[in-house]
Amino acid sequence: MSFNKSLEYIETIYNFMETLLEKAKKLKDNKLMSISKLIFNYLISCCSEKNVLIRDLNKKQDFNMISINEYITNNKIELYDLLNINFEDVNINNSQDIERFVLSHIIYIYENNK
């Protein structure tokens, strides 16, 4: 993952993941649980790139998605159309494809759960 990630961006990913995980547990939704794990793995890589520990991230109940949207826009990341995606569209060995896949899920879930 080659784009520079701000601490605010990483904390927003963290807070989104925590919120999604709580919802997945409450609903006993295995699909949301799997997406939470995918986001968690992405979060680990982001923290590693920035030399930040997850335990040092600020947990917030009230957060916004501005930093994620700016990151996507500034880095010209083209999100996947999750309603029309094929297995071969994502190269699981390519970190940028994984990042696109994760961000696509985050935005899709956020936009459909306002």
Task: Give me the residue spans of the domains in the chain.
Answer: 7-111
pLDDT band at 114 (very low <50, low <70, confident <90, very high): low
Residue bearing tokens 């994984």: 98
Angstrom distances, CA of residue 36 to CA of 14, 73, 75: 10, 23, 23
Check pLDDT > 80 for residue 2: no
In this structure, what token pair is assigned to residue 47? Answer: 């923290």
Sequence-distant (≥ 6) Cβ neighbours of residue 36 within 8 angstroms: 17, 20, 21, 24
In this predicted model, what pLDDT tens digit does every residue of 5-52 receive, in sequence order? Answer: 999 999 999 999 999 999 999 999 999 999 999 999 999 999 999 999
Q: Say whether pTM exceeds 0.85.
A: yes
